Amino acid sequence: TGSPVPASTATLVRVLKNSNTLGIAIEGGANTRQPLPRIVTIQKGGSAHNCGQLRVGQVILEVNGISLRGREHKDAARIIAEAFKTKEKDHIDFVVFEPG
């Protein structure tokens, strides 16, 4: 599945839906300078901020087991939005990678 990601810097982060917004801004997607979505903002009071484990600069590899590799920005954003909207789970599992 593309270039191997060093396992040591890939992390599974579970974000509980304890606020009515996820509260992250993402940049990137296939065919852009940033090939995988990267977190560029975390809003105070959002579920991501409350979780405390997501950080600006982290790259999102997977959402609830769905790989974002090779997906355009809009597709990746839709997958994350739907993962937050769905009532089936009270959390979202992100696999993130800390570059550098």
Partner 1 sequence: REKRLTLPPSEITLL
The site for partner 1 (CB under 8 A) is made up of: 21-29, 31-34, 40-41, 43, 73-74, 77, 80-81, 84
Q: Which is nearer to partner 1, 9 or 41 (CB)?
A: 41
Q: What does the alpha-carbon distance between residue 60 and residue 57 come to, in Å, rounded to a whole number?
A: 10
**Quick check: 49 and 43 in contact, CB under 8 A?**
yes
CB of 30 to partner 1, least distance (A): 9
CB of 50 to partner 1, least distance (A): 15
Q: Which is nearer to partner 1, 32 or 90 (CB)?
A: 32
Phi, psi of 69 (to 5 degrees): -65, 130
Q: Which is nearer to partner 1, 21 or 86 (CB)?
A: 21
**DSSP helix/strand/coil, 33:** coil
CB of 20 to partner 1, least distance (A): 12
Helix, strand, coil in percent for the chain, rounding step 5: 20, 30, 50
